[in-house]
Structure 1
């Protein structure tokens, strides 16, 4: 795949959950397109190492997506260092346990919802306040094809991703006249550590690929490419859209 050419020179992009997987791939592409990129995650060691590896133009701020204090501080720190946040990506997420929903522990369910759904809301809460003050911006949330069509054995994950769809659409309507666009991506299976943890060897990745009409699993780079387009002027009339990137799974 030859990446499209985008120009985000002089713009600041904030990626919550930018230290691994799709978020990391997005950080690479935005930085290569000229943006100043701030990646956030809860692990100081991992985040600092990733930022150092990505080089100039990328920096790490420690933040837990499920913490209101951390999310408020993340936005404040980014604004203090770089001024206006042009693009905010809320990508933090965990898979939760694999198994029947009646066997889920309450603590596990709460943790999935706290990061995957409440974390998206907290990110938007502080990003929106900043963007309203600055006259606009672009927000991209990460849902999942599991947020379009339910997937058994990952009920908490699927419920959280359905919630992201609702939050995205509601925010888009509230903000449509304010110069803030809010969209989401809904990836199907992607070659990331999250997918491997989710199935935990219970389902071979080859079997998952066989269920995709395109007969393969996506790369994180493919999903990141869609994020760049959603953040670009090419999608300037798009808001409230859930972009499904699943090789045809949800229409099969």
Structure 2
């Protein structure tokens, strides 16, 4: 007599309306998980969720600005209520900021980038952690950047925020390990997301970035997603507190 089927794992991905976030949500769903698709763009979130459902998966689209603590709390609560709990979370949503040196940047821009990227990640973790604890443990992956490991010229706010995400990840990994919660970061190098493609349009940026990457090309969103999904899996059960470069060898 066969035993009962294991309950479906459930989690959320922020910034899942496009790029790495969308690829991550789709990959989790293909692996059998129920996925809450969180994004500030309601239409984009709905599109990702519909793609999951069309492939036979279970998805929930939630519109949320991660800079808004109350909205984050409501989004996590809705996810837990819909799926019965939370097993993993990938905090991918963020805001880009480049092409300005520090003394050329308005304080308002600096504060906005840090509020979305760093404080927004804090908001997400603050409400995800109790939900994971109630489930008996789980995993969080924060999508930082290789800009969280070294300098990117003319990107002071972005680099400061991404370094902060890596630090926040390490502290949480240590503090919550006794509760069975693993916390890691993924640090992608330049990745051919729709946003990056739009910025690079009409320039030689893609060719230039590929030329300084040992593997000779940029990452795809799916490659960054694969790293995040692996870190949330049982195959990574003894991995916590790391900042994993997905950069084609650039950090080396």
Same-fold call, TM cutoff 0.5: yes
* Structure 1 residues 179 and 42: CA distance shift in structure 2, 3 A: same
Q: Deviations over 1:59-111 (max 9, x none)?
A: 21111111100110011001111111101110001112422221112221111
Per the alignment, residue 122 of structure 2 pairs with 121
CA contact (8 A) 1:96 1:198 kept: no
Deviation at 1:54, TM superposition (A): 2.9
Per the alignment, residue 151 of structure 2 pairs with 150
Aligned 1:87-106 pairs, distance under 5 A: 87-106=88-107
Aligned length, in residue pairs:
244
Aligned 1:73-112 pairs, distance under 5 A: 73-112=74-113
CA contact (8 A) 1:12 1:87 kept: yes
**Aligned-CA RMSD value:** 1.6
Structure 2 stretches lacking a partner, 5+ long: 1-5
* Structure 1 residues 19 and 238: CA distance shift in structure 2, 3 A: same
Aligned 1:1-252 pairs, distance under 5 A: 10-55=8-53, 56-196=57-197, 204-251=205-252
User: More displaced, 48-57 or 167-176?
Assistant: 48-57
Q: Deviations over 1:108-153 (max 9, x none)?
A: 1111111111111110000012122232111000011111011101
Deviation at 1:225, TM superposition (A): 0.9
CA contact (8 A) 1:95 1:194 kept: no
CA contact (8 A) 2:141 2:185 kept: yes
* Structure 1 residues 132 and 241: CA distance shift in structure 2, 3 A: same
Partners of 2:202 and 2:175 in 1: CA distance:
42
* Structure 1 residues 200 and 158: CA distance shift in structure 2, 3 A: farther
Structure 1 stretches lacking a partner, 5+ long: 1-7
Instruction: Return structure 1 stretches of 4+ with deviation > 4 angstroms.
Output: 197-203
Partners of 1:216 and 1:169 in 2: CA distance:
30
Q: Deviations over 1:199-222 (max 9, x none)?
A: 675652111111111111000111
